[in-house]
Chains A and B, each alone.
Chain A
Amino acid sequence: MGLPEYFEWLRHDYTIRTITLGTAVMGIVCGMLGSFAVLRKQSLLGDAISHASLPGIVLAFIITGLKDPLVLFTGAVISGIAGTVMISAITGKTHLKSDTALGIVLSIFFGFGMLLLTLIQKLPNANQAGLDKFLFGQAATLMVKDVLLMSAVGTLALFCLIFFWKEFKILAFDAQYAQTQGFNIKMLDVLLTTLIVLAIVLGLQTVGVVLMSAMLLAPAAAARQWTNKLGTMLVLASIFGAFAGVAGTAISASAVRISTGPVIVIVVVLIVAVSFVFAPERGLLFRYIRQWKNRMNLRTHKLLLLMYDIASSHADFTHPHSLNILKPMEGYRYKLKEMKSMGWIHYDNHTWHLTTEGYVMAKELNENVTKR
């Protein structure tokens, strides 16, 4: 099946439509909340939370014997939150830094989760099959009630962000200052972190424990490249997330037997790569071009100032001087052409002189160089 067939399917096939909608909603929610995670320097927290949720999923299954999404999600949320609580306990009570705490929690919880997974595989219960899908995700298992759950949480997150927009903004920029303004930053922090945990847990089924943090961080990191406005960043991150979800689903549905999660992550990483290179202001390419242009301009200006100095030694600044005098300046012949086209100088094979325009320009430059 190729891409055209995918879109044909999208119109007729209920399952494909459900999966596409689900990955899109996941992308939107992750983009929105991931922006705050990135801006609050909590990029690694997402990774720790997603790994920490694994034992919760398996335990929820062991305790209830059910594979109902709501049951598994509840388990994941509880152990995800337990992970974050443990991280802040470690950083608060010991001398360990947060990266160490994140690493410890991530590996302990994930290891415990893996242990439980291997344990239940030995149980004589055929029903356990499929829990290991949470490792790398399987979008094909998305059902309408999953998508509804995602949409419900997404709507809740959206309302919270709209409602507490200025509070979340000041929390992300300057939490201590927010506190002096009378805002309960502890509460805001708990609310935002809970929303992030929910977003991560909802994405697990699609993208999986291992790759989930990319879904949270990559759209936000890409969006930051294109804008200097927080609101625009959130909208862009949501669009990038949704696009990656849909494109990943389309690609994996078009090619036989490629799992959706990794494809979604590859698409989102491509978006990041493009953003890092091609974004107009912060992108590497344009920054490089700007720097290069700047250097070229500065060289031209230096040459013009040299000519100005030489010309100033005569009462008449249009007095012609030999071209040889300029030889020490790097690439001067090319610059001469440029300056002639700007109308700053006249020159022939042997001599040059400044025009009135060139003289005025040089005089201005000369004054500006010494000014701040």
Chain B
Amino acid sequence: MAATLAVKIDDLTVAYKYKPVLWDIDLEVPEGILMAIVGPNGAGKSTLIKAVLGIVKPVAGSISIYGRPYRKNRSLVAYVPQKGSVDWDFPTTGLDVVMMGTYGNLGWIRRPGNKEKKASLEALEMVDMLDYRNRQISQLSGGQQQRIFLARALVQNALVYFMDEPFQGVDATTEIAIVNILKELRKSGKTLVVVHHDLQTVPEYFDWVTFLNVKKVATGPVKDIFNERNLANTYGVNYKTSVQN
């Protein structure tokens, strides 16, 4: 096998209470790809990411990042949670949230200093949010909040990025800006795994895709496997039922 594996998931099974949410997932993510995870509601897309990151405890399975268990290689991984997962009325500024991305490398007790601040400002600049650095985060628009989350992941300086619906509730301009940043990251050799909802944009934004519906349906390059058959297998036969006018 030629390509280095950024992420390798083996036999991953996750259950909330009784019902399995993910069933026996095997997934290999080669280095340097921009992968979409698609599937219907309740397919376990977010859970997959959370299980990889150890937020959700799996029933079985193992995760490795660059050949070592996730726990050992945690610093190589950055995470962009769903925007709605936090309270944006928290008393803090955009810059302060981005600085949180430096906490992991700092470890316990050590406070961020000038170096971390500089890195955070650069990350804000990358997502075009430098002007809003001192703005209370509740006064940012949904798209701006999403950019702040993206900047927080960028400042982690990771190799692998997991993002949970980064395009949810953002306008077209922000969506394009974020896509460009993701493509930029891929070009510099990073690996990105993105939970995505909009099937229309998959071929345009991503080069790899994983179809998920509790079980893994298919995974591979978009040009090879993004087809009717896999879509039907993932979303059910009637996935294409269109709105009648």
Chain A interface (Cβ < 8 Å from any Cβ of B): 39, 41, 163-167, 169-170, 172-174, 176-183, 224, 227-230, 232-233
A229 neighbours in B (Cβ, 8 Å): 91-93
With beta carbons under 8 angstroms apart, the residue of A165, A174, A179, A228 that contacts B100 is: A174
Nearest A residue to B104, CB-CB: A181
A179 and B54 contact, CB distance less than 8 A: yes
A227 and B86 contact, CB distance less than 8 A: no
How many interface contacts (CB-CB < 8 Å) are there between A and B? 76
B208 neighbours in A (Cβ, 8 Å): none
B50 and A164 contact, CB distance less than 8 A: no
C-beta contact mask, B98-109 vs A, less than 8 Å → 1, else 0? 001001101111
22 contacts between A and B (CB under 8 A): A163-B109, A166-B111, A166-B112, A167-B103, A167-B109, A169-B92, A173-B90, A173-B92, A173-B100, A174-B86, A176-B81, A178-B103, A179-B55, A180-B55, A181-B74, A181-B103, A181-B156, A182-B74, A183-B104, A229-B91, A230-B92, A233-B91
Known: A177-B81, A180-B74, A228-B136. A170 touches B87 (CB 8 A): no
Chain B interface (Cβ < 8 Å from any Cβ of A): 50, 53-55, 74-75, 77, 79, 81, 85-87, 90-93, 97, 100, 103-104, 106-109, 111-112, 136, 152, 156
Given A166-B100, A167-B109, A176-B50, 18 further pairs, Cβ under 8 A = A41-B87, A163-B109, A164-B109, A167-B108, A170-B103, A174-B100, A179-B55, A180-B53, A180-B104, A182-B74, A182-B104, A183-B103, A183-B108, A228-B93, A229-B93, A230-B90, A232-B91, A233-B91
Q: With both chains docked as a complex, state the minimum distance between the C-beta of B115 and any C-beta of chain A, in angstroms.
A: 15
A176 and B85 contact, CB distance less than 8 A: yes
Cα A230 to Cα B54 with chains together (Å) = 28
Nearest A residue to B75, CB-CB: A182
A176 neighbours in B (Cβ, 8 Å): 50, 55, 81, 85
A177 neighbours in B (Cβ, 8 Å): 79, 81, 100, 152
Closest 9 CB pairs of A and B: A181-B104, A228-B136, A180-B79, A180-B53, A176-B55, A174-B86, A173-B90, A230-B91, A228-B91
A172 and B104 contact, CB distance less than 8 A: no
B86 neighbours in A (Cβ, 8 Å): 173-174
B85 neighbours in A (Cβ, 8 Å): 174, 176
Nearest B residue to A176, CB-CB: B55
B103 neighbours in A (Cβ, 8 Å): 166-167, 170, 178, 181, 183
Cα A170 to Cα B103 with chains together (Å) = 9
Cα A229 to Cα B55 with chains together (Å) = 28
Cα A39 to Cα B107 with chains together (Å) = 23
Q: With both chains docked as a complex, state the minimum distance between the C-beta of B227 and any C-beta of chain A, in angstroms.
A: 34
B111 and A165 contact, CB distance less than 8 A: yes
Q: With both chains docked as a complex, state the minimum distance between the C-beta of B206 and any C-beta of chain A, in angstroms.
A: 23
A167 neighbours in B (Cβ, 8 Å): 103, 108-109
Q: With both chains docked as a complex, state the minimum distance between the C-beta of A232 and any C-beta of chain B, in angstroms.
A: 8
Cα A349 to Cα B97 with chains together (Å) = 58
A228 and B55 contact, CB distance less than 8 A: no
B156 neighbours in A (Cβ, 8 Å): 181
Cα A15 to Cα B89 with chains together (Å) = 43
Known: A41-B87, A181-B103, A183-B103. A173 touches B74 (CB 8 A): no
Nearest A residue to B55, CB-CB: A176
Q: Which of B79, B91, B92 has the most CB of A within 10 A?
A: B91
B77 neighbours in A (Cβ, 8 Å): 180
A169 neighbours in B (Cβ, 8 Å): 92, 100
B92 and A180 contact, CB distance less than 8 A: no
Q: With both chains docked as a complex, state the minimum distance between the C-beta of B27 and any C-beta of chain A, in angstroms.
A: 18
Known: A177-B81, A177-B100, A181-B103. A39 touches B54 (CB 8 A): no
With beta carbons under 8 angstroms apart, the residue of A165, A181, A228 that contacts B92 is: A228
Q: With both chains docked as a complex, state the minimum distance between the C-beta of B151 and any C-beta of chain A, in angstroms.
A: 13
With beta carbons under 8 angstroms apart, the residue of B50, B79, B91, B100 that contacts A170 is: B100
A179 neighbours in B (Cβ, 8 Å): 53-55
Q: Which of A165, A166, A179 has the most CB of B within 10 A?
A: A166
Q: With both chains docked as a complex, state the minimum distance between the C-beta of B162 and any C-beta of chain A, in angstroms.
A: 9
Cα A178 to Cα B108 with chains together (Å) = 11
